[in-house]
Structure 1
Amino acid sequence: MTFQLDSRLQKDCYLLAESEHSLWLLLNNSYFPWFVIVPKTEQTELYLLAKEQQDLLQRDINLLSEFVHNNFDCDKLNVASIGNIVKQMHIHIIARTESDKCWPGVVWGTSFKRNYKFTEVMEIQQKLKQFCQYKSINGFQFASLQ
């Protein structure tokens, strides 16, 4: 299988890190700390993943959720696999605050959009690297941001 990231995710996100089994992305909207995990699979539904793949994905979800919770203002984490528009399996991890522009509603399809400054993306990636080092998480290559 040759894995290829859906073009819409590629257009809307920064690639922060990649492992043998997944990509970690940052959605380019600074109004919401919004991360996306994309498992390297052709399956579109979680229950179709082999047990080992499910375990790896759950580990990634837990790790990235902990990172988001520890590094961003957050009243609630939204973790979801919707995929109605982008069918490629991907998991959203979004830090929500009671003061964010969409609270208490959903963020999907919001018109509130502000691109990150490149320096902000680099800072987030650096914090993610430090988190992975602190947690002894190996196997991720951090993307060269451009």
Structure 2
Amino acid sequence: MFVLDERLKNDTCWLGDFPLCRVLLMNDSRYPWLILVPRQADISEVFQLSAPQQQTLWQETTQVAHALNTLFAADKMNIATLGNVVNQLHMHVVARMRNDAAWPAPVWGKGTAEPYSAVQIQLLRKQIGKILGENFVAQEETA
């Protein structure tokens, strides 16, 4: 059974679900940053997914990157799976701008997170949901 890692749960807001992945908003308004978590139990690496699931993960990641780029006109899109702190497989998609707080360094561990307001989260959920289309089901509550 899929259970979201507590650290991800505490650091993010649930935006919705794709067929494979839960889509989370990193609760740091300094960066447009979404995280995709395949809803599979006990998976820590991409190679542990089946070949079709790997393709789906990449397709969903590409859709999220496109949505962030559409909304924020990013200078660069950072896409990564690390898992050094959170073992559960998750894909980071971060829209980077040359004027963001961490540019050109990675965003991890830079400064103090600035949480989104409930209104900002709701607006982003609607905007992203509209771009992601029918395969994405928006979650009305944050979790």
The TM-score bracket by the shorter chain reads over 0.9
Which residue matches 2:74? 74
Structure 2 unmatched ranges of 5 or more: none
Kindly state the Cα deviation for residue 142 of structure 1 after the two structures are TM-superposed. Answer: 1.4
- The number of aligned residues is 141
Evaluate the alpha carbon distance shift between residue 19 and residue 73 of structure 1 in structure 2; reply closer, same or farther with a 3 A threshold: closer
C-alpha RMSD over aligned residues: 1.3
User: The residue matched to 1:99 in structure 2 has which SS?
Assistant: coil
Kindly state the Cα deviation for residue 20 of structure 1 after the two structures are TM-superposed. Answer: 4.2
Which residue matches 1:46? 46
Kindly state the Cα deviation for residue 21 of structure 1 after the two structures are TM-superposed. Answer: 2.0
| TM-score between both structures, scaled by the size of structure 1 | 0.91
1:47-62 equivalences under 5 Å are: 47-62=47-62
| TM-score between both structures, scaled by the size of structure 2 | 0.93
Percent of aligned positions with the same letter in both sequences?
Answer: 30
Which residue matches 1:21? 20
Q: Which runs of 4+ in 1 moved over 4 A?
A: none
How far apart, CA to CA, are the structure 2 residues paired with 1:100 and 1:141? 30
How far apart, CA to CA, are the structure 1 residues paired with 2:63 and 2:113? 26
Kindly state the Cα deviation for residue 130 of structure 1 after the two structures are TM-superposed. Answer: 1.1
Structure 1 unmatched ranges of 5 or more: none
